[in-house]
Structure 1
Amino acid sequence: MAAQRPVFPEFDPDDVSSNPSGNRSFGEVVQQRMSRRAALKGGTAAAAGFLVAAQAGTGTAAAATPAGRGGGGGRPGGGSPRGLLGFTPVPTSTADDFTVPEGYETQVLIPWGTPIRPGGPRWRKDGSNSAEEQAEQIGMNHDGMHFFPLGNTREGSRRGLLVLNHEYVDQSLLFPDGAEEMTADKVRKALAAHGVSVVEIERRRDGDWHVVDSRRARRVTGSTPVDFSGPVKASHPSLRADNEPLGTLNNCSNGYTPWGTYLACEENWNNYFGTQDPSWTPTASQKRYGVSASGGGFRWHEADPRFDLAANPGEVNRFGWIVEIDPKNPDAKPVKRTALGRVKHEGCTVTESRGRVVAYTGDDQDGDYIYKFVGHGSWRVQRALGRSPLDHGTLYVARFDDDGSGEWLPLEHGTGALTTAGGWADQADVLLRTREAADAVGATKMDRPEWISVDPRTKDVYCTLTNGSGWNSAVSPRKPNPYGHIVRWTERGGDNAATTFEWDIFLLAGDPAYDDQVTLDESNLFGSPDGLAFDDDGRLWIQTDVSNSSQNLASKGYDNIGNNQMLAADPRTGEIRRFLTGPRGAEISGVTFTPDRRTMFVNVQHPGEATTAWGTPTPENPRAVSNWPDFDPEGRPRSATVVVRRTDGGVIGS
């Protein structure tokens, strides 16, 4: 008898599609291809084959390369590749703790409220820090991050700049009295807790990492002055507002460039805007982006007209961009690079192709798309000419075809449907309405595209699709798809700038107790893949973000999976092992390494947030769900960066 499948979790805003187009969904593509799949032979798919999930009984993901491409990573002469994973997997957990394998040690570093410089404003455990103090402290809800070494490999592996995003704020924990009443002071503090932190850290003789005094330390918040570059200028009529261009909000994942800058990615920016004006109605474009009078529950528009859609309509168009920050120049303004499009950017993964910059980004909403930006010419030449390589290039959106092929469709004014006669004024208009432009050219609807990572050995590209709602145009191999999956593609000729590709499913996540399509086992079962990153050895690190409305619940099919976690995969062998588990209510998000790969930094986001399984924090009891990491009987849970090291000083994961 087949296992009973769970009811899909209660929706969060990202699970509700705002895509009304008739474009084909990835689910429809998958179903047609699955009906024609060939047998798997020797770990490599036949030309019309289809790679799904794990090999039965092995607890491993599909290890073959995409259809039509030879295997990579094996030993000369056809021998089996040596595995990359050398640790004992940890079990699932429902404890309010952070657990790593035997032989590893951890250190909590820079939790929310830590001064960005020694001697700065101290954290107040009752949440009473002012907006001005918060602007000099580490922000809330850590997400994507990157370590920029200061010095050569040896020196840079013990000293560098850690740059990290703060995606959003939990207003019930941010303020001593919670969020029932919204005031201008509360909006200012919330803005100060958003954005990006830059801190200098070093590893000292005691073996621990410490924040050190640095002229480079700074906060970029929701109130920091910013510039715009590319086709959409700050002076564009759609961006005119009652205030100068300010801030960055809802920065989820990140990227970094070959020239040493950091990319912050604005995701659910629509949630911060609303209005109480009964005469206001959203335009078609605003509906496409989920902009509404009620907003996402922050209610800032009640206390600050900057976020009132009726009073200050241009401000909302200043968000939804990739933001470039120079971590080594504290005087440089953050710049919103508009040539990369305006969507709900989950991240921005940058690689190179014959000197050109290539940047991948997912639009994290059910039924939206995967994008790629390809720079014009050598990025080094562009830089030498005083131009940004992210201002000059072509933006594409992906179409996945049912024979395992795919095509990148250009989003260029004057091309295909994107003409003046078709209602598109110019390239700025295309970029301001990127979602609608992608609808018009026929992109493939996806299952909440999240993080994207490029294999440093093969240049294959991987993308997490965290889950799908099961609406009529399902966007996954399952309908519904409560557990998510990981898709992989190979660009034609191994060239990341190519306009065609071949794709497969690398992994189908889930619990075989509820879905008999899943063949993961107790050492690696998981759901809702989100964070994704390769290390330089080729290990693929997978982080999860199971919704707090589903976490730990049998009624949602998540009772065996436990708290959110991070796993490591070896794409050459398909092996996957669970590396760590997080505290209650938390998401595991953000990972980066020192150059010697002997220190890993991992973020724990929103521990203690309201969950169906554990309860809801209140001003009277902010510890109702979690008290991690301080476990102070009078404190509150705090997002934090955790340092992970092997006790013998070896390479992480090996």
Structure 2
Amino acid sequence: MSDSFDPDDLITNPSGNRHFADVLAADVSRRNMLGGTIGVAAVGFFAGAPVAQAAAVPATSTASVAGGDPKRPLIGFKAVPVSKDDTVHVPEGYVAEVLIPWGTPIHSDGPAWKKNATNSARDQAVQVGFNHDGMHFFPFDTRGRMKSRGGKHDNNGAGLLVLNHEYTDPAMLTIDGLEGDMTLEKARKHQHAHGVSVVSVRQQRDGSWKNVDSPFNRRVHVNTPVRFSGPAAGSPKLKAKTEPRGTLNNCSMGHTPWGTYVTCEENWNQYFGTTAKGHEATAEEKRYGLPTGGTDYRWEEVDERFDLVKDPHEQFRFGWCVEIDPFDPDQVPVKRTALGRVKHENCHFAESNGRVVVYTGDDQNGEYIYKYVSAAPWRSMRARGKSPLDEGTLYVARFNEDGTGTWLPLVFGQGALTKANGWADQADVLVRTRRAGDAVGATKMDRPEWITENTKTGHVFCTLTNGSSGPHPANPRKPNPYGHIIRWMEKHGDKTGTEFDWDIFVIAGDPEKDPMVNINGDSFGSPDGIWGDPHGRIWIQTDVSNSTQHLKEYEHLGNNMMLCADPTTREIRRFLTGPKGCEVTGVIATPDMRTMFVNIQHPGESTKAIGEPTAKNPQAVSSWPEHDPKGRPRPSTIVIRRKDGGVIGS
């Protein structure tokens, strides 16, 4: 909501748990992790070595674990340069086209978007939401069936694009921003611009894509009915004044093996405040970073749901992973409480020994990385009418100094999570997930963001955007303005187990500013989105805060971008740069990798180095994508194709 700081950089974790920097410093001489391969390549920069020392490690040292063939490079495009332009740049031979910008009617007969921001809250409820984020493409079936759960008959030219909408910008969304008196109509428009859009898309004969009408098209937003499931569903903390409604601050997501979409509620805390004077935050409110007074959004002034004093339990209904069936427009979204209540960035789904495994990060400075494992093979559970996301074990990660790690169970009655220590039951553990992580001794991390895996090796990657958690930031640097990417391998490849080995895949940043940067290729900072494609490439997206973009440490790195990494050679090449003030986030492709969808979030947002948009001048920073002098910037999904129809990235 402001360009002065990023609230995710604040620390609300008062526990004495170890920071990741402490772990790294404890044993810089280690040599043997992931079977003696990845660790060898990492040793140089664990010790704070300059890039030259890290680069001296033979390139073949990681080939056996990365599973690649150095003779057949994964990356085949010419890198694009750093950019400060108000447009999207992609490599030579590629084309990028805007598909569904904010305000696009969900159905063709719906209300059209108005460039003067005069659309009503009712209009917004049936239009594509604001600030596109994580998304997934669910292909239709080439054999004529309307529903595909994955397989050889996937359709590469038609399907459902399901995407999140993280937050809103008052200067863009309404004609007067948040100036003057707050109204319920204004709050409702913001609420309806959050959530999820389900949009049917189809490729045209000329290769371009467009959104089309479909019975599956729908919106899920802050006022959509939802239900709770799992161990915490009956918790007294979830008994608020109204029926359960809504999902908000939908950052990234996951998609299940059985073909559903799971949206993640991240910075939900910023919507809850109070008009009451002298409110003192409870211990739980402090731990989750809720304010003691009013909020920037001001919903609490007109909607009691978001007033902490008038309805103190509504806050506990947010911070969950929410399952949506894109092929059932009548389905009520389900908040799966077994996955815990934190500020979820994304949830990456994997399968191991027939069980479903879900990785998720809590995106705030000094928070933790989690893993959930279903109680039984997911197919058998579904056959018995049970959700694999309701019965299982939630773990939190501890990273050890010898290059190993342990998943610590968050189970009532085990270890520190007992009645004697103040825990009531498993529902209590899941509602207070951060506290549970504190209690068992998880490792503090620097803003755990997206998690993905190398589809060829099973190695798991997590982006750590940046951080400054006091004198011991959870990263190899003090402070860590650029972030890094950590990688781990579960013991024996068993993702249901509790032991793993880890290293750092890359330390991001500008090598001209920081000798610890060890990028083999194009420089970048603040990694956020990350996706492992079917060919083994790792796609990295950046979210440099607009409070620092183009300034100081970031003066040479330009606008936010997307890059492609070869996990074998660690080469990283810049693939895309975005317009002014934006974040590049959300990436998925058709099964044949010949069409890629990428989201451009908050173009034109208030930027310290460029300017501050207002309701009267929304184009102070950017006019992308239409560049209409009477319009305003619009978050959008873009479609990227190779002009020759080839595989993206090759």
Aligned to 1:454: 453
Are 1:109 and 1:642, in contact at CA under 8 Å, matched by a contact in 2?
yes
Are 2:542 and 2:584, in contact at CA under 8 Å, matched by a contact in 1?
yes
How big is each residue's C-alpha offset from its partner over 1:172-220, in whole Å with a ceiling of 9 and x where there is no partner? 1110111123211111111110000001010011221111111000000
Are 1:61 and 1:576, in contact at CA under 8 Å, matched by a contact in 2?
no
Determine if the alignment matches structure 1 residue 388 to structure 2 residue 378.
no
Are 1:40 and 1:46, in contact at CA under 8 Å, matched by a contact in 2?
no
Aligned to 1:558: 554
How big is each residue's C-alpha offset from its partner over 1:455-491, in whole Å with a ceiling of 9 and x where there is no partner? 1111110000000125123111000000000000010
Are 2:66 and 2:568, in contact at CA under 8 Å, matched by a contact in 1?
yes
How big is each residue's C-alpha offset from its partner over 1:218-257, in whole Å with a ceiling of 9 and x where there is no partner? 0000000000000111x43211222110000001010000
SS state at 2:446 partner: coil
Are 1:38 and 1:50, in contact at CA under 8 Å, matched by a contact in 2?
no
Are 1:445 and 1:475, in contact at CA under 8 Å, matched by a contact in 2?
yes
Equivalence map 1:429-444=2 (5 Å): 429-444=428-443
SS state at 1:343 partner: coil
Aligned to 1:542: 540
Aligned partners of 1:98, 1:60: CA distance in 2, in Å? 35
Are 1:61 and 1:575, in contact at CA under 8 Å, matched by a contact in 2?
no
Aligned partners of 2:355, 2:328: CA distance in 1, in Å? 24
Determine if the alignment matches structure 1 residue 645 to structure 2 residue 641.
yes
SS state at 2:345 partner: coil
Are 1:398 and 1:409, in contact at CA under 8 Å, matched by a contact in 2?
yes
Aligned partners of 1:64, 1:376: CA distance in 2, in Å? 39
* 5+ long unaligned stretches in structure 1: 1-8
Q: 2:11 aligns with which of 4, 17, 31?
A: 17
- Could you tell me which amino acid in structure 2 is paired with residue 128 of structure 1? T
Aligned to 2:124: 134
Are 2:235 and 2:428, in contact at CA under 8 Å, matched by a contact in 1?
no
Are 2:51 and 2:516, in contact at CA under 8 Å, matched by a contact in 1?
no
Cα deviation, residue 34, structure 1: 2.5
* 5+ long unaligned stretches in structure 2: 143-151
- Could you tell me which amino acid in structure 1 is paired with residue 198 of structure 2? V
Aligned to 2:109: 119
Are 2:65 and 2:457, in contact at CA under 8 Å, matched by a contact in 1?
no
Shift in CA distance, 512/419, structure 1 to aligned 2, threshold 3 Å: same
Equivalence map 1:104-115=2 (5 Å): 104-115=94-105
**Greater Cα offset, 57-66 or 347-356:** 57-66
Aligned partners of 1:443, 1:58: CA distance in 2, in Å? 29
Are 1:54 and 1:507, in contact at CA under 8 Å, matched by a contact in 2?
no
Shift in CA distance, 458/26, structure 1 to aligned 2, threshold 3 Å: same
- Identity, in percent, stands at 59
Aligned partners of 1:314, 1:60: CA distance in 2, in Å? 56
How big is each residue's C-alpha offset from its partner over 1:543-579, in whole Å with a ceiling of 9 and x where there is no partner? 00000001111x2x10110000000001011111000
Question: Normalising to structure 1: TM-score of the pair?
Answer: 0.94
**Greater Cα offset, 298-307 or 30-39:** 30-39
Equivalence map 1:506-517=2 (5 Å): 506-517=505-516
How big is each residue's C-alpha offset from its partner over 1:592-614, in whole Å with a ceiling of 9 and x where there is no partner? 10011000000000000000011
Determine if the alignment matches structure 1 residue 90 to structure 2 residue 80.
yes
How big is each residue's C-alpha offset from its partner over 1:248-297, in whole Å with a ceiling of 9 and x where there is no partner? 00010100000000000000000001002124321111110001223551
- Could you tell me which amino acid in structure 2 is paired with residue 144 of structure 1? G
Aligned to 2:415: 416
Shift in CA distance, 169/319, structure 1 to aligned 2, threshold 3 Å: same
Equivalence map 1:131-280=2 (5 Å): 131-152=121-142, 156-181=155-180, 182-233=182-233, 235-280=234-279
- Could you tell me which amino acid in structure 1 is paired with residue 363 of structure 2? D
Aligned partners of 1:40, 1:273: CA distance in 2, in Å? 44
How big is each residue's C-alpha offset from its partner over 1:431-462, in whole Å with a ceiling of 9 and x where there is no partner? 00000000000000000000000111111100
Aligned partners of 1:230, 1:599: CA distance in 2, in Å? 37
Shift in CA distance, 42/412, structure 1 to aligned 2, threshold 3 Å: closer
Aligned to 1:3: none
Determine if the alignment matches structure 1 residue 533 to structure 2 residue 550.
no
- Could you tell me which amino acid in structure 2 is paired with residue 304 of structure 1? D
Are 2:19 and 2:366, in contact at CA under 8 Å, matched by a contact in 1?
yes
Shift in CA distance, 51/395, structure 1 to aligned 2, threshold 3 Å: farther
Are 2:33 and 2:501, in contact at CA under 8 Å, matched by a contact in 1?
no
SS state at 1:350 partner: strand
How big is each residue's C-alpha offset from its partner over 1:400-425, in whole Å with a ceiling of 9 and x where there is no partner? 00010100000000000000111000
Determine if the alignment matches structure 1 residue 630 to structure 2 residue 623.
no
Cα deviation, residue 71, structure 1: 2.9
SS state at 1:348 partner: strand
Determine if the alignment matches structure 1 residue 30 to structure 2 residue 20.
no
Question: How many residues were matched structurally?
Answer: 636
Aligned partners of 2:579, 2:276: CA distance in 1, in Å? 41
Are 2:275 and 2:294, in contact at CA under 8 Å, matched by a contact in 1?
no
Aligned partners of 1:539, 1:47: CA distance in 2, in Å? 19
- Could you tell me which amino acid in structure 1 is paired with residue 595 of structure 2? T
Are 1:60 and 1:574, in contact at CA under 8 Å, matched by a contact in 2?
no
Aligned partners of 2:331, 2:35: CA distance in 1, in Å? 54
**Greater Cα offset, 25-34 or 591-600:** 25-34
- Could you tell me which amino acid in structure 2 is paired with residue 611 of structure 1? T
Are 1:616 and 1:625, in contact at CA under 8 Å, matched by a contact in 2?
yes
**Greater Cα offset, 539-548 or 493-502:** 493-502
How big is each residue's C-alpha offset from its partner over 1:336-372, in whole Å with a ceiling of 9 and x where there is no partner? 0000000000000000001100000000000000000
Aligned partners of 1:537, 1:61: CA distance in 2, in Å? 25
- Could you tell me which amino acid in structure 1 is paired with residue 23 of structure 2? V
Cα deviation, residue 37, structure 1: 5.9
- Could you tell me which amino acid in structure 1 is paired with residue 431 of structure 2? L
Shift in CA distance, 132/505, structure 1 to aligned 2, threshold 3 Å: same
Are 1:59 and 1:576, in contact at CA under 8 Å, matched by a contact in 2?
no
Aligned to 1:6: none
Q: 2:600 aligns with which of 591, 597, 604?
A: 604
SS state at 1:101 partner: coil
Are 1:40 and 1:49, in contact at CA under 8 Å, matched by a contact in 2?
no
Equivalence map 1:357-376=2 (5 Å): 357-376=356-375
